[in-house]
Amino acid sequence: MGKAPNCSYSIPATVKTSWTAKNPGKKFYGCAYYEHNNGGGSCGYFKWHETSGCERCDKLVRHTRNLIKKVKDLEIDVEKTKQKERRINLMLFMAIVTVIYQWLWKE
């Protein structure tokens, strides 16, 4: 781990961890004042911390990323299945309506 770079305020930036879907567990340097005033006191400094120096952490991060991707794929599958079910229900309803309609006009 190298020394933290200075932000625009000429003070060492602090290491934080990203938990966004795109970069879960990825470390980055941010302005030390980021937490103050809801980020309003920050100079906006941002830089990815490229080397974590921890192989197991990297593996875990990759694993987490894969899991998040799998969950998203599953959510898409569930949505597709729901749509298919709605279509089948509609077709079934139309078939029943057709049968009743024909039965009524047979009399």
For residues 26 and 61, the answer to whether their CB atoms sit within 8 Å is yes
Q: Which residues, 13 to 72, sit near Zn ion by CB under 5 A? A: 31, 43, 45
Interaction between residue 7 and Zn ion (CB under 5 A): yes
When binding is defined by CB under 5 A, the residue of 4, 9, 14, 18 that contacts Zn ion is 9
Residues pairing with 14 in the sheet? 30
Instruction: Considering the complex, state which of residue 35 and residue 85 has its C-beta at the smaller distance from Zn ion.
Output: 35
User: How far apart are alpha carbons 26 and 16 in whole angstroms?
Assistant: 8
Instruction: Considering the complex, state which of residue 6 and residue 98 has its C-beta at the smaller distance from Zn ion.
Output: 6
* Residue 33 C-beta: closest distance to Zn ion, Å: 5
